[in-house]
Amino acid sequence: MDTRLSRADSEVDFSFAVERKDGRRYTFNRGASTMQTRYSSASMSKLVATAIILRQVEQGYLTLDDRPQDRIESWPIDSSNSLYGMTLAQLLSLTSGLTWDDPCMDSASSDFENCVISIANLNAGNGTAPGQEFFYSDAHHQVAALMAVKARGVAGWQDLFTEFTTQTGLFPTSTFDEPSVINPRIAGGMNVSAEDYMDFLKALRSGALLSAGSMSRLLADHTASVIIGYSPIFEGVNGGPGLGEDWHYGFGLWHECESATFNCVPGTRVSSPGMYGGYPFWDRSKGYTGIVIREGASNTLIRGINIERSVRPEVEQWAACFD
């Protein structure tokens, strides 16, 4: 594995780790990268944010059937608009009908709630009905996060993230602060280390973070019967190449399928890759979790996936080998 990873196609340094059922972990660092180096997460944070929001549901502060207007007093979408019926479940599965990210999501000085209202107004005329189309956009999680903030009556997302880290001991060196602490991009705004993310995956896999019911919803295929409007896995992102594969989506994670038409068993292998080439994954059929963490250009989504695939046969042999 060392040899293959040292020769893997990556224009930037990276770290790679996998952990198998018995807790043994293999790690590889290339160049100056280490398991403690913090990287911009991009969409790797979707799964983390989803887990935090689902914990609010478990505690009774929210339900998956809640709509934004049930929690956000300033929500501007009324009953005459096609987006009126969107639910928290649809937001977490990226099927809420939102298709546009607002520029305020990249503004460090923007107010978080005002930005969510701008997202609503920007998407209000798109004519999309919730639950009909999967469209990969960070806007969904931004709205879902504000619903959770309002349901808890806290000042902002940092309160929920701090509570999560305190309760679980996870992400001790990671932050949710891009573009800023006051206006974090929920679906892509973490600065995170491979060590922290691997511990998160281990906790998720062991059932320490979510109830069996929440895990079932997290891992369900929520896009089997909807139109795929935009998938960066299939098409690529920001002009970069895609894989041309038809992956489906759960809550905050992808159901992988190495086929142009989805013909896989949902939940077999799930992941949450980001546009800089970071790639956390969980092979549930073989019982191991892992990550490729790197920070390339914003159009290098598939680089991390391809790094992992270059060594997957060896990883599978190692994962299946017990003393």
Per-position DSSP letters for 14-44, written without gaps between them: EEEEEE-TTS-EEEEEETT--TT-EEE-GGG
Give pLDDT, residue 206.
97
Which H or E run includes 39? strand 38-40
Give pLDDT, residue 276.
98
CA angle (228, 232, 235) in 5-degree steps: 80
| CA distances in angstroms from 243 to 2, 133, 138, 232, 259, listed in the order given | 25, 20, 20, 9, 9
User: Which two structure tokens, joined as six digits, stand for 22?
Assistant: 């018995």
Give pLDDT, residue 35.
98
Q: Hey, what amino acid is at 85? A: G
Neighbours of 254 (CB within 10 A): 24
Give pLDDT, residue 277.
98
Give pLDDT, residue 162.
98
pLDDT in tens, the chain (323 residues): 999 999 999 999 999 999 999 999 999 999 999 999 999 999 999 999 999 999 999 999 999 999 999 999 999 999 999 999 999 999 999 999 999 999 999 999 999 999 999 999 999 989 999 999 999 999 999 999 999 999 999 999 999 999 999 999 999 999 999 999 999 999 999 999 999 999 999 999 999 999 999 999 999 999 999 999 999 999 999 999 999 999 999 999 999 999 999 999 999 999 999 999 999 999 999 999 999 999 999 999 999 999 999 999 999 999 998 65
The number of folded domains in the chain is 1
Give pLDDT, residue 311.
98
Which H or E run includes 126? none
CATH number for the domain harbouring residue 130: 3.40.710.10
Give pLDDT, residue 67.
98
Using DSSP, how many helices (H) and how many strands (E) does the chain show?
A: 11, 12
Find how far residue 148's CA is from the centre of its chain.
Answer: 17
Give pLDDT, residue 125.
87
Predicted TM-score (pTM) of the model is 0.98
Neighbours of 170 (CB within 10 A): 20
Spatial distance between the Cα atoms of 216 and 218, rounded to a whole number of angstroms: 5
Range of the domain at 46: 2-319
Give pLDDT, residue 321.
86
Give pLDDT, residue 184.
98
